Structure 1
């Protein structure tokens, strides 16, 4: 695990320091605060904010959090004495400008562009929260389900083609992150950042 990245704001708080696997790509302009763990081969893209100041954020392997997304968690409350950590599995896609807060996204889950997932919500494996949707507190999506709308509700089950498309998206972002890591390193070497 590494705790230093050029152009990335890594902020320890309450004795917690972000833990980032050495193979993860963290784009410049990203801010990561507190009790955040980012797994192997994952990518956090430009201008994301991951703030774990009151609970924890755990991101698995090969997951991508795309540009401008905001990730947060909730601390203990009368309703949830143990708080609402944000738990994100392996091979997850989180689209641009998404907001995920104190929820669970299981392996291979998908959060569309500009979508919102709130405390204690669950996006199951191979499930997709559509672009712009709002998954309200405590709602649970089943495996291979597509949910959309505000508030989000089930629209249909996903077929094999849709699930394969999500897997291809994960592979694309894993490969593209390598190219961006090289480009960022080159820019730093040239004094551009």
Structure 2
């Protein structure tokens, strides 16, 4: 494991295997990161309560910078680029790729191998792009990442 000294890992989170976690990132209560093959998490990214990240065999999982992985989301063997928000209960399956500045709605299902273009809002089962994000949407993604970065600082000080 390679966890940056400025990252925060909750005592009740489970982190195991070939994991790299970037500066000011956070893993919150009961989240699971199980890296049977590499999982890389960028800077200022937050993995919220009960989320699960997993990779195995030839797959790897990459999560970019300033990404929010919502409560109870499942991220498995895929790539999520910078400044995305993965909604609560969403599922992103093997070999899927989420472009930069995307919002994956709560409970959406991103299918195996599905590619989501940058600046997309995706909802539903299976997930479908319903519109492009505007500047306000992208600001919300950045604000949420910044909010969790502040929480990371606060919890690290305790």
SS at match of 1:146: strand
Aligned to 1:80: none
Distance 1:34 1:74 in 2: 10
What's 2:121 paired with? Answer: 146
User: Which of 1 and 2 has higher RCO (CA within 8 Å, sep 6+)?
Assistant: 2
- Structure 1 partner of 2:143: 168
Show the counterpart of 1:40: 23
Q: Deviations over 1:1-56 (max 9, x none)?
A: xxxxxxxxxxxxxxxxx210000011110111110000111011111110012x11
Unpaired runs of 5+ residues, structure 2, are none
Q: Does 1:25 align with 2:3?
A: no
Give the root-mean-square deviation of aligned CA atoms: 0.8
Q: 1:96 aligns with which of 71, 83, 104?
A: 71
- Which residue of 104, 107, 117 maps to 2:82? 107
Between Structure 1 and Structure 2, which shows a larger proportion of strand residues?
Answer: 2
Equivalent residue for 2:44, pick from 53, 57, 62 = 62
Deviation of 1:109 (Å): 1.6
If the length of structure 1 is used for normalisation, what is the TM-score? 0.80
Alpha-carbon distance in 2 for matches of 1:150, 1:28: 33
Q: Which has the larger radius of gyration?
A: 1
Alpha-carbon separation, structure 2, partners of 1:177 and 1:22: 12
Deviating above 4 A after TM superposition, structure 1's stretches of 4 or more consecutive aligned residues are: none
CA separation in 2, counterparts of 1:46 and 1:179? 15
TM-score (norm 2): 0.97
Q: Displacement, 1:72?
A: 0.2
Structure 1 Cα separation of the partners of residues 47 and 32 of structure 2: 10
**Which residue of structure 2 lines up, in the alignment, with residue 132 of structure 1?**
107
> What is the distance in 2 between the residues matched to 1:176 and 1:52?
25
